[in-house]
Amino acid sequence: MKDGFIKVAAVTPKIRVADVAYNTQEVIRLLREAAGQGAKIIAFPELVLTGYTCNDLFLQRALLQEARRGLSEVIHASAGIRALIFVGLPLEVDGRLYNTAAAVSDGKLLGFVPKRAIPNYSEYYEQRYFASGNGKTIPVVFDGCQVPMGAFQLFVCEAKEDGHGVPYTLKVACEICEDLWMPDPPSTRAAMAGANVIVNLSASVEVTGKTAYRRDLVRMTSARLVAAYLYASAGEGESSQDLVFCGQRMIAENGSVLADSGRFTTGITCAEIDVDRLDAERRRITTFGCRRDEEFISTKFDLDDTKTVLTRVFDPQPFVPSEAEHRASRCEEIFQIQALGLKKRLEHIGAKNAVIGISGGLDSTLALLVCVKAFDMLSLDRKGILAVTMPAFGTTDRTYRNAVSMSEALGCSLREINIRKAVLQHFADIGHDPSVTDVTYENAQARERTQVLMDLANQTGGIVIGTGDLSELALGWATYNGDHMSMYAVNSSVPKTLVRHLVRYYAQTQCTEELKKVLEDVLDTPVSPELLPPKDGEIAQKTEDLVGPYELHDFFLYYMLRFGFAPSKIYRIAVAAFEGRFDSGTILKWLKKFYWRFFSQQYKRSCVPDGPKVGTVAVSPRGDLRMPSDACVALWQKDLETL
């Protein structure tokens, strides 16, 4: 289970009602096929060995005895398959009949989990046959072996330590069909007892509108429990006398559906779940609080230590929704959050003016658009927004024109202050040779611009609006007490990859054709601080040539802060996510650079201005990131060196 990944499978065979011999062979065939695909947890539907629709045949001893023989064959066939397998069958215990899931692994029966919620409404009348498994766990004898039967069971596998010395523990619980639809499903208590994977053996009938509800139920249960949820429903082959069964198979993880077979299908549906990610989320959500439950018993099983082959898709832009409609909705939501944060700050201090430095680049463009939205919310005159362009040694005609044009198109006040003379005077004062274009040459310009903005804010009774984004803060790509500082930083939790989409969204939905053309040109302009002299009138200093592609850094940042993944795991999934875009050597190069910069630049993040959080990843020292400024990066670098 390297890096916490494990493949699971939900399986729906085409069965014959009451033909246990046939059904057993189908289960064995598909069991072997799923194991051959690398699945380590395999779930079959409810009552799969007999069929769910046997009705009064469940009262026939011949059927019950044949079901036991069928399970014995499955157990025998599982020998050598180091996986956890759940198979549904009716089981008579002490004169009562239970709808159960048998847990099997490597030729052994581990136990039985009985269904607790026995429906008796609409098309369901299970109480005619089955007792509820609400009681305590009891011992039962099957084929001469004593195993536990009860709803309060965890099937536990502590995997061998991976390359980081971290033991991953699988804790699997099971519930059956209607159990999921209860107000207080068994899976809730199981998750609180530590289960991170829930398996559901189901026989869900299909009626109009039920598919979406069922999918939402599985998805949201996995989110609520911070767990993986494996759902396998009966389908073709069940009696169609009065009903049609859905045959739907789903695999969800913490609110995301990883795989969905759709309706009316048979076969195997696989996905890789990430136990490491689930554990990370549970560590982060301190209110989740797993606790020891004395009623639960644990039964151990073993898995082999083969590395899971990943087919799971990793979005190369985790901060940006891939679907256009969802992306547009997210952009509007973020604009609202940013603008409402600024609106509150302006209201609180009674300011009717704002000062913002406009460079013609992406970040200052987004900050200006947010300012405009906040002023409109407050019914303030946009002339109260003072957009300041401050040309210096690296300013190009292209960015200058865009800064001026967008400010005028938005109806803001515009002021140009050329800072060349002031910076040259500063160089003379400190004895710096202007021909030496080093970090002093660059940062002097950034600090002069910040001083101008701060003093203008004092003059106008306004506040300085920060333009720096989350990605720059993560990398420390900001001049300390220069562009690093403001009075309210509206972009501080917006990553660079998302800034671009926000500006594009505004251009496509909320502005005139004149402004749209300007914004589209801003989007086409290379990201640059423009602190070094241009070459032949073109931008000479491209940020991504120096610190690396923001697309990669945002990916690294998301998985490092959101889930606490080890560098080697981030590298592994980045190679999969960016296949065909960046080779593995390039990814490793910039991943090493990311960690070095992230740790060395924390002191800049320890004193960032206020700004609104818009997503699940943020670096404010007052909110999401409490990190010492002098923490050592050696541990993370050591992991990277193993690659």
**273 and 368, same domain (yes or no):** no
Catalytic pick from 177, 246, 331, 371?
Answer: 177
**423 and 560, same domain (yes or no):** yes
**55 and 142, same domain (yes or no):** yes
**339 and 251, same domain (yes or no):** no
Catalytic pick from 26, 46, 206, 253?
Answer: 46
pLDDT at 386: 98
Last residue of one domain, picked from the residues 245, 265, 300: 300
Report yes or no on 217 lying in a domain.
Answer: yes
Indicate which CATH number applies to the domain containing 202: 3.60.110.10
Report yes or no on 168 lying in a domain.
Answer: yes
Indicate which CATH number applies to the domain containing 368: 3.40.50.620
pLDDT at 166: 60
Report yes or no on 151 lying in a domain.
Answer: yes
Nearest to 346 by CA among 169, 233, 487, 475: 487
Last residue of one domain, picked from the residues 266, 300, 334: 300
**483 and 544, same domain (yes or no):** yes
Report yes or no on 16 lying in a domain.
Answer: yes
**276 and 218, same domain (yes or no):** yes
**267 and 342, same domain (yes or no):** no
**408 and 557, same domain (yes or no):** yes
pLDDT at 209: 86
Note whether 204 and 163 are within 8 A (CB). no
Report yes or no on 310 lying in a domain.
Answer: no
Report yes or no on 305 lying in a domain.
Answer: no
Q: DSSP secondary structure string, 556-571?
A: HHHHHHHH---HHHHH
pLDDT at 540: 67
Note whether 225 and 4 are within 8 A (CB). no
pLDDT at 158: 86
Tell me the per-residue pLDDT of 227-257, one tens digit each, with 9 for 90 and over.
Answer: 999 999 999 999 888 888 999 999 999 999 9
Average per-residue pLDDT for the chain: 94
Catalytic pick from 2, 40, 115, 613?
Answer: 115
Report yes or no on 317 lying in a domain.
Answer: no
**541 and 632, same domain (yes or no):** yes
Note whether 451 and 426 are within 8 A (CB). no
Q: Is 46 a catalytic residue?
A: yes
Nearest to 23 by CA among 1, 53, 2: 53
**294 and 331, same domain (yes or no):** no
List of E strands, 420-512:
463-466, 488-489
Segments in the chain below pLDDT 70: 160-166, 540
Domain residues for the domain of 572 are 324-641
- d(C-alpha 483, C-alpha 467), whole Å: 8
Please tell me the pTM assigned to this model.
0.91
**263 and 407, same domain (yes or no):** no
pLDDT at 168: 84
Note whether 625 and 605 are within 8 A (CB). yes
**60 and 178, same domain (yes or no):** yes
Note whether 427 and 436 are within 8 A (CB). no
Region for residue 177 given its phi and psi (left: phi exceeds 0; alpha: psi -120 to 50; beta: otherwise): left
Last residue of one domain, picked from the residues 265, 300, 335: 300
pLDDT at 600: 97
Q: Give how many domains the chain has, as a whole number.
A: 2
Nearest to 231 by CA among 260, 267, 255, 266: 260
Pairing of β 297-300 and β 354-357: unpaired
Report yes or no on 313 lying in a domain.
Answer: no
